Amino acid sequence: MSGTSGDAWVEGPDGARYWGRFGAAGLLIMSPEREVLLQHRVEWSHFGGTWGIPGGARHEHESAVDAAVREAGEEAGVPAGLVEVRFTSVLDLGYWSYTTVVAAASRRFDPVIADPESLELRWTPIPAVAELPLHPRFAEAWPGLSSQL
């Protein structure tokens, strides 16, 4: 771990809550078969029951890329050695930010539910992603992200 854990809520001026004292990051990883790895979030989580990408709070002094890869490994068993970062996309609210790290997997792997935050992990063909009930922020970002895949 690099620095102090960021595991805590941040509250915005409008009362909206976001996870990660130092911001958060997630990994949108695409297989060679042009599928993306999605996480079905457990009901008790923030926006539970929706689909999104593995991710979570950044630690103090941790880069967004390092945080996204670490979290994807912790939550979905993503092998860091297969991750080839392509680009990042940042949602910056001024007091909190979320970085989507977009990457390609050098080969398809079997994801593993490695913590209690997932109901299911699934490789999903890119055209089918928008058909799922997505995490609201991921749903907002998906059209722009998918056009760059």
- CATH T-level assignment (fold) for domain 9-148: Nucleoside Triphosphate Pyrophosphohydrolase (3.90.79)
> Which residues are 13's β-sheet partners?
none
0.75 surpassed by pTM:
yes
CB of 124 closer than 8 Å to CB of 36: yes
**Digit-coded pLDDT (tens) for 79-109:** 999 999 999 999 999 999 999 999 999 999 9
pLDDT band with cut points at 50, 70 and 90 for residue 141: very high
Residue 115 DSSP symbol: S
At residue 123, the pLDDT reads 98
**Digit-coded pLDDT (tens) for 38-81:** 999 998 887 889 999 999 999 999 999 999 999 999 999 999 99
> Which residues are 9's β-sheet partners?
19
What residue segments make up the domains of the chain, in order of their start?
9-148
